[in-house]
Structures are given as structure tokens and as C-alpha cells.
Amino acid sequence: MKSVEQYRNQKVLVLGLAKSGVNAARLLHKLGAFVTVNDKKDFDNNPDAQELLSEGIKVITGGHPLSLLDEDFKVVVKNPGIPYSNPIVSGALEKHIPVITEVELAAQILEGELIGVTGTNGKTTTTTLITMMLNQRNNAGKAYVAGNIGVPASTVAQKAQAADTMVTELSSFMLCGIDTLRPHIAVITNIYSTHLDWHGNRDNYVKAKMRITMNQTADDYLVINWDSQEWRDLSKQSKAQVVPFSRQGNSKAGAYEENGKLYFKDEYIMDAKAIKIPGDHNVENALAAITVAKLQGVATSGIVQVLKTFSGVRHRTQYVETYEGRQFYNDSKATNIVSTEMALKGFDQPVVLLAGGLDRGNTFEKLAPALKDHVKTLIVFGETAQKMADAGKLAGIDDIEFTENCETAVPVAWKRSNSGDIIMLSPACASWDQYPNFEVRGDRFIKAIEKLTGKAEEN
């Protein structure tokens, strides 16, 4: 960990807890700052706040009092999910108090190399693949996953040594709160339209994503999907060396697919069908990871070993099990239409799809073509159940069933399925109408499968 003196004896406000806030508060306390933590959850039901108070950190809970802005804070470290319309955040900016996210703090203390991964879809899988591939290197430091993947970057940055690499999944929310963060290699998997309720419009969302490269120089690399003219145009904003990847063979300057085979420049890597996780979107994720691995000197044999054995990230088109000829997949992290569309395109078999969740005001007509081509039965639940059913009718699906949630959907899906079918949870919606997060939703889905197959009773 780098020796950082800029926070010593300075007042710092950590706004919002959860994993990132708790770890940011502890790191700042360690760096000698006078830390105040502010969280809206009341103290009695806030074990994180209770622990931080016991460690000597000041905590204010139960709301966000504007009087906090009178305390002359040097910086505010906010939870990424808190919008800039929050009165404390907007008030701090009006007072010219810097507002950053925890990943910026982590980058300031990191001794090792930083690789950043962003994009609308594929971030978690690509981050994981890159980390696994880098750990195939001999006589090199260790690669760690961090960031939006669920591992606080500030924790990883404290243990990473100079020879190590922190492979960090960076959400648009996180990137809005960076200042000096500079990845040696930045990866943009793709950019579609999502989180527009938070960002206000697509232009703001795209600008947030592009912040991953704003501090890069000609000594760095931007690895970017080359299969959209928009993404190719966006790459011109970067000062880094641009290295493309393309599933459609639009460039051979990086990793690409041609006639079902994967290459890096002129070197054959492996057949696309040999990748263990299904779907064209996972070929794209693999190409992005191959590009980074090759830039970092990973041998082809190590790359192939990872891609042939990696069975998927939990909650992202995660294979759960096969029971009486049906394959179950958990794609709970599919919180938008494009994610579900990509997951469906990964299968040739008939799909019984479990979908629905938080209503953000959008409809699902854009999902209809993928539903038509891949889905035999649609099981819908949550706030968007009717909207999802309407998309299913538009797609010509006759078998549409309503149920309470993803758990009750499992036995319904089982009854409507046949041997050879895929039963997949891929909601196309956030989980917050019924579950704290997509991880809990996916775990409940898996438990329902275990109950169906009898495994739950065996444990």
C-alpha cells in the first residue's frame, strides 16, 4: 500500500455504507483522517454503523442532515448508488468539496497495476476471465478481482504488492466519482442503454463509461469492442493505444473470431465452440480477456486452459445442474433487456424463461424478437409481470404463466418443461421490488431448484 498523507488530520465524510462505505471508512481511519460516516438506516438496525462506532469512527444514522455540510469536510466519499441529486452530494459540490467513490480512494493507495473493466454487459465475466488468465503467468505477481464484482477495491488495494494486478470491475456509478484513477489497461465490453433513470439520459451514461479512459496516456491501452460504429467512434476520445476485439471480424489488430476460430492478431488461440460457457456474448467476453492477457504476456496455453474450464460467474448465465433432462441456468444478474437477449441467444434448445422484477417505467417490446426465436414458455413475476407478458404475447408465445416470484416460478417452469429444455432465470429487470439484490434473487432461485430436485432435504 502506498504511503498517502493527503487525508491525515483531515475531515472526511463517508456517505452511505454497504461494503464500499464500510471499507472506505476503515481505510481513511487507518490513513489518519477524522472520519464521519453518514447512513440513512437507523443505528439500532445498522450493524455496520455499530461496528464502525466501536472502532472509534464517528457515525450519524437515520437520515442525511444537511447540517453535515457545515463541518468543513475536505472530501466526500459516497456510495456509488447514491445519486448526485442527493442534497448532501449536490450541496458538497456547490461548496466545491470533491465527491469521489471508493474506487478512486483505492487507486490512490494501490502499489500494483490497475486494469479496469466497464461496459453495459459482460463486465463481471470479463473481469473474472482476465484475473484467471493473469494468474496463469509464471514468475509474476498475483492478480486480484475487485470493484463492482463484489470485492471492495480499497480492501484489495491494501494487500496488493507492487508486482500484483488489481482487475477492477467499474460501474458507471463508480466512474462518475473518479478523479485521478488511471488504468494501465481499460476495457469497454460494450455500451447499450441502461440506468437512464439514474443518469438522466443516454449521453450522460455514455460519458460516465468513457471516464474509464480519461486519465490514460499513450503508455496505456484501451481494449474496446469493435463491432459497433459508435464504439469505434468513442475510442477516438482516448489518448491510450487502442486495441480492438471483434466477434464479427471487423478488425484483426487485436483478438477476433473468424470462421468459428479465435485469434489474437495472426495467432490462432482456439475454436469458439470450445469455450465452456455458452453464447455469442461470452465469445465477446473471451475476446476481450484474450486481448488483455496477450498484452500482459500470458501464454496461449494458459488462456485456453481458462476458457475450456471456466463454467461461469455466479448469477451470470451460471449453469446450476441438469435434472431429468432439463438444464437449469441462473442469470439473475441480467437486470436489463440486452442482458436477457444475449443470454437467450446462447441457446439452441427451447427455453422456459423466468423473468420480471422492478418496474423502472420501460416496456419490453425490444425483447420480443429474442423471445420469439428462443422461448417456448414464459413465467413472469414481480412489478413488471404484465409488461413482460405483453412482450411475450407480441412474440407469439402462447404459454405464459404468472407467479409470485422467482422461487414459485421454479415448480411452474418444471411442469411446463420437457426433457431437453433449458429452464433459465434471466429477469431483464432489477431485483429490488422483491429482493435486496440480484445475488439474493439468484440464491433463492438455486434453493428452489434444490427443493425441486430433493437436494435441499439432503443437506
Which residue from 257, 262, 255 is spatially nearest to 247, judged by alpha carbons? 257
Residue 171 CA to residue 155 CA, distance in Å, equals: 18
CB 225 within 8 A of CB 186: no
**Which secondary structure element, helix H or strand E, spans residue 246, and what is its range?**
strand 241-246
Q: Is 123 part of any known ligand binding site?
A: yes
Q: What is the DSSP letter of 50?
A: H
Residue 3 CA to residue 272 CA, distance in Å, equals: 45
Torsions phi, psi for 288 (to 5 deg)? -60, -45
Q: What is the DSSP letter of 228?
A: S
Q: Which three cell numbers stand for residue 389?
A: 407478458
Q: Go through 313-343 and write b for each residue having 16 or more CB atoms within 10 A of its CB, e for each that does not.
A: bbbbbbebeebeebbbbbbbbbbbbbbbbbb
Q: Is 125 part of any known ligand binding site?
A: yes
Q: Which three cell numbers stand for residue 256?
A: 477476433
Residue 303 CA to residue 24 CA, distance in Å, equals: 34
Count CB neighbours of 281 within 10 A.
24
**Which secondary structure element, helix H or strand E, spans residue 65, and what is its range?**
none
Place of cell 407467479: 403
Residue 293 CA to residue 262 CA, distance in Å, equals: 14
Q: Is 408 part of any known ligand binding site?
A: no
DSSP letters for 330-359: E-TT--SHHHHHHHHHT-SS-EEEEE----
Residue 455 CA to residue 459 CA, distance in Å, equals: 7
Residue 269 CA to residue 266 CA, distance in Å, equals: 9
Q: Which three cell numbers stand for residue 380?
A: 413472469
The CA distances from residue 215 to 115, 203, 222, 378, 404, in Å, are 13, 20, 11, 45, 47
3-state secondary structure of 261: strand
Residue 213 CA to residue 220 CA, distance in Å, equals: 9
Q: Is 122 part of any known ligand binding site?
A: yes
Residue 414 CA to residue 327 CA, distance in Å, equals: 11
Q: Is 127 part of any known ligand binding site?
A: no
Residue 316 CA to residue 132 CA, distance in Å, equals: 17
Q: Which three cell numbers stand for residue 197?
A: 433513470
Annotated binding-site members? 119-125
Name the binding residues for ATP: 119-125
